[in-house]
Amino acid sequence: MAKVVSIKRGLWEQLYLPELVRGVGITLKHFFVNTFGSKEIVTVRYPEEKREYPPRFRGVHRLMKREDGSVRCVACMMCSTICPAQCIYIVAGERGDGTAIEKVPVSFDIDELICVVCGMCVEACPCDAIRMDTGRHYPPVDRRDQAFMQKEDLLAAGGPNVAVQGGAGPDWRESYRPLGSDRQIYDREGKLAKQIKGS
């Protein structure tokens, strides 16, 4: 139900002129305060002054690096699958250095003009490889093809990430030592292969 609010106007208000003078007085007060007094101007002069973004602001994407400087992404396609705008294009390739990490993106392109900046790729990433914490907007571009960010561009803003990835490696059964308990390791046939003392 709409509530009807009736404003009571007396003769003084209906005369219009005194209320007009009052209104002009208010605006003139603002004028003089802003021109000569303590300036209460709310405008941000954009290119020179920038408003600080909140810490969880989602900006341009970046790809994080391992300690050796290679890309953290393992081309699992989670981000490109969940992306509602379908703007992430990944071509997976073989990493081939014998470690537990087998896949690597050969190319990793994001079309920043299609991106809706929802942040779901960051949520979906199991490796903490893609982030949107650069704090920058995507800059304006002149041509359509300039709006693509490629793997190199994404890596350029990326930093090292200290989280251990890929577990302990292919021989994790040997190195796995839960604290304070012994552990038996069985081989594929099911026979006891090794007894590890808890540390």
Q: Which residue of 42, 162, 163, 164 would you call a contact of another protein, by CB under 8 A?
A: 42
Q: Which residue of 9, 12, 18, 23 would you call a contact of another protein, by CB under 8 A?
A: 23
Calpha distance 86→111 (Å, rounded)? 9
Alpha carbon 109 to its chain centroid, in Å, reads 16
Contact between 142 and another protein by CB under 8 A: the answer reads: no
Which tokens hold the place of 181? 């308990």
Q: Which is nearer to another protein, 24 or 113 (CB)?
A: 24
Q: Which is nearer to another protein, 4 or 42 (CB)?
A: 42
Contact between 40 and another protein by CB under 8 A: the answer reads: yes
Contact between 38 and another protein by CB under 8 A: the answer reads: no
Q: Which residue of 18, 24, 70, 185 would you call a contact of another protein, by CB under 8 A?
A: 24
Find the shortest distance in angstroms from Cβ 25 to another protein: 9
Contacts of 80 (CB under 8 A, 6+ apart): 86, 88, 89, 90, 121
Contact between 158 and 142 (Cβ < 8 Å): no
| DSSP notation for 186-198 | E-TTS-EEEEE--
Contact between 199 and 179 (Cβ < 8 Å): yes
Contact between 104 and 93 (Cβ < 8 Å): yes
Q: Which is nearer to another protein, 20 or 114 (CB)?
A: 20
Q: Which residue of 9, 18, 20, 159 would you call a contact of another protein, by CB under 8 A?
A: 20
Q: Which residue of 7, 41, 163, 192 would you call a contact of another protein, by CB under 8 A?
A: 41
Binding positions for another protein, 175-194, rule CB under 8 A: none
Calpha distance 173→167 (Å, rounded)? 11
The contact set with another protein (CB under 8 A) reads 17, 20, 23-24, 26-28, 30-31, 34-35, 40-43, 45, 47-48
